[in-house]
A = this chain, B = another copy of it.
């Protein structure tokens, strides 16, 4: 809050920032497994034990990186959405999808840290929850606003969600307010489809199968848009 109280605190904040920065670069080049406190210390001209004055353990550094990552991904999706006309709901959905995918392709290791296999021995603390919701909040907002504007025309597809899903639907309405139950779950299906595609593509499962990745991705996202009733 009050910037630069004592000189000590200033230099401490600066060093903390520098550590996370080097860590982020290590993460980008080597992946989560290659993140080494000793290597960071070496690069900073410090001795390894000194790092522990700033981050009590490797996991705490990871938590910082994860929170930053969720924020970066959330911001990327928010910006992609914000660049579209407010009432072009299918366009906003596609832009958000591309925003997520482009960010993931540009930061594969960071994406893997967030949405890939959990790091062994690491358990995410509660602090990671709010930033994790930024991107899905955007998708929920698009859907909610489209519904409110009467721009949602979901085709009949499957039987209605069974009654046992009522509680979950209510829960999910925290990010997809006001939507009828059926649409909530179509939104979830689209959401899992989006992340499923990006994950499979990034983790190499589409190799030797699909070459025109961006085109195929967009087509798939258009299909999912139609499932939600967002026909463009």
Contacts and interface: CB of A to CB of B under 8 A. Distances in A.
A171 interface: yes
- Complex copy number for this chain: 2
A180 interface: no
Interface string A56-76: 000000000000000000000
A162 B226 contact: no
Chain A contact residues, majority secondary structure: helix
Contacts of A204: 118, 124
A119 B222 CA distance: 32
Contacts of A197: 192, 196
Interface of A: 30-34, 112-113, 115-121, 124, 129, 155-159, 161-162, 164-165, 167-168, 171-172, 185-186, 188-189, 192-197, 199-200, 203-205, 208-212, 215-216, 219-220, 222-227, 231
B129 A188 contact: no
Contacts of A115: 199-200, 203, 205
A33 B119 contact: yes
